Structure 1
Amino acid sequence: MPRLAVNVDHVATLREVKRTNVPDPVAAAAMVELAGADGVVVHLREDRRHTQDRDVRILRETTKTALMLEMAANSAMIAVALEIKPDLVTLVPEKREELTTEGGVDLNLHKDAVSDAVQALQKGGIPVGVCVDADLDQIKLAHRIHVNCVKIHTGTFCEADTSIRRSEAFKRIVNSAKVAYKLKLGVNAGHGLGYQTIQAFAGLSEIDEFSIGHSIIARAVFLGLDRAVREMIALIKEL
């Protein structure tokens, strides 16, 4: 069964709206673990718009499952990661004007910078993944720079406005996952996944882990975090 890693950035977003200390993403992380999640994901952005350094440092001490840190491939963030030692770093693109990560890293443009980051982090004992679009060339480039895994960006599939576009996007995800698996890369998937879209992945055994945040936190507003996580786990078990 694929693992579920829950992104708690949106808990931090709610906290930062009022510039207060609640709700605490550290407490949310503990709750998702108790509900059965296999890991916790946070994205420490350069502008610190939601998750803060304090959060990541405490999470490193308190997380009982796996702590996954998403970050840009620059020297400042590499230094933070080498200090904190998460269980996995996933390199992602960042634009200050975006609301959330809009796509994968373009390795055609940023191969050298990403490769340098991968080497530095792996030398420090940290496994490294890179978030890429569902594109075979990107998967192959990721393999060439010796990442441990890829995270296939599923946003185009989840946000498709017609059934044809959704079907085409899903085919690209399937093909990318299969190629990554053949190249012996770990295969994660995430961005925009929810309680309906996750069901499309039934039978796609190449995916090791789903990273899901917004839909779980949104459902938790009405049903509670424990139930929201357990319902997603139940759906993943059926895949």
Structure 2
Amino acid sequence: MVRLSVNVNKIATLRNARGGNVPNLLEVVRDIESFGAQGITIHPRPDERHIRYQDARDLKKVVQTELNIEGNPIPEFIDLVLEVLPDQVTLVPDAPDAITSNAGWDTRANRSFLQGVIARFREAGIRTSIFVDPDPDMVRAARDTGTERVELYTEGYARAFPSNPGEAVKPYVKAALAAGEAGLGLNAGHDLSLENISFFRQEVPHLLEVSIGHALICESLYLGLENVINMYKARLR
């Protein structure tokens, strides 16, 4: 079964909108795990507009499954990860003012930089994953950074899925095969939803984990959080 990691950034966004502690992020995370999620993902950004750095510290004490921290490896982020020691860190090359992640790494051009960052995380016992576009060359080059996994950036798939699912998934199949050949574990995330996740799971080989946040929280407004988590798990079997 492909593991489901729930990104809880949107819960923090809702909390921050009123300046208090409702919804309580830690309580929601406990509930999400009790409903069957197999991991929790957070993506703290420098402006802390949703997940705050302190949230990462607090969640380390609460998460019982797998804690995945995503982000651009600026010095402050690196220090936070080495302090918190999550199960997994996912390196994402997003600009400080990015609304959401919008591109993967050029793993060839940034090989030396990524090697240095990943070596520090691996020395601390943290599994690393690199956010990449569905480009077999970028996937193969990721192996030279020392990472253990790559995460495929799936916005392109989600955007093209309604009109032509078969064509939408082709680049991801090729990238997944390249990951398998390179000996890299495979994650995926961004704009995956109840509508498109089953086909992706069916067609893409070697998939270990998906990280889903925005769609899952939106769907939960209508269907309920516990129900939606189990709907995703059924589709990921």
Partner amino acid, structure 2, of 1:176: A
CA RMSD of aligned residues (A): 1.6
Q: Deviations over 1:172-211 (max 9, x none)?
A: 1111111101211110011000001102121434101111
Partner amino acid, structure 2, of 1:187: L
SS in 2 for 1:189: strand
- In structure 2, the partner of 1:41 is 41
* Pair 182,161 (structure 1): closer, same or farther in 2 beyond 3 Å: closer
Matched, 1:87 2:118: no
Alpha-carbon distance, 1:160 to partner: 2.5
- In structure 1, the partner of 2:144 is 144
- In structure 2, the partner of 1:186 is 185
Partner amino acid, structure 1, of 2:24: D
- In structure 1, the partner of 2:208 is 208
TM-score (norm 2): 0.94
TM-score (norm 1): 0.93
Q: Deviations over 1:53-91 (max 9, x none)?
A: 221111111111000000112222111101100000000
Q: Is the 8 A contact 2:161 2:168 kept in 1?
A: no
Size of the aligned set, in residue pairs, is: 236
- In structure 2, the partner of 1:101 is 101
Alignment of 1:1-239 (within 5 A): 1-160=1-160, 163-164=163-164, 167-201=166-200, 202-237=202-237
Over the matched positions of the two proteins, sequence identity in percent amounts to 33
Alpha-carbon distance, 1:162 to partner: 6.8
SS in 2 for 1:107: coil
Can you give the 5+ residue segments of structure 1 that lack an aligned partner in the other structure? Answer: none
Q: Is the 8 A contact 2:135 2:175 kept in 1?
A: yes
Q: Deviations over 1:83-142 (max 9, x none)?
A: 100000000012233221112122233222222110111112211111100001110111
Can you give the 5+ residue segments of structure 2 that lack an aligned partner in the other structure? Answer: none
* Pair 14,97 (structure 1): closer, same or farther in 2 beyond 3 Å: same
Task: Identify the range of structure 1 (129-138 vs 24-33) with the bigger mean alpha-carbon deviation.
Answer: 24-33
Q: Deviations over 1:214-236 (max 9, x none)?
A: 11111222232111111111111
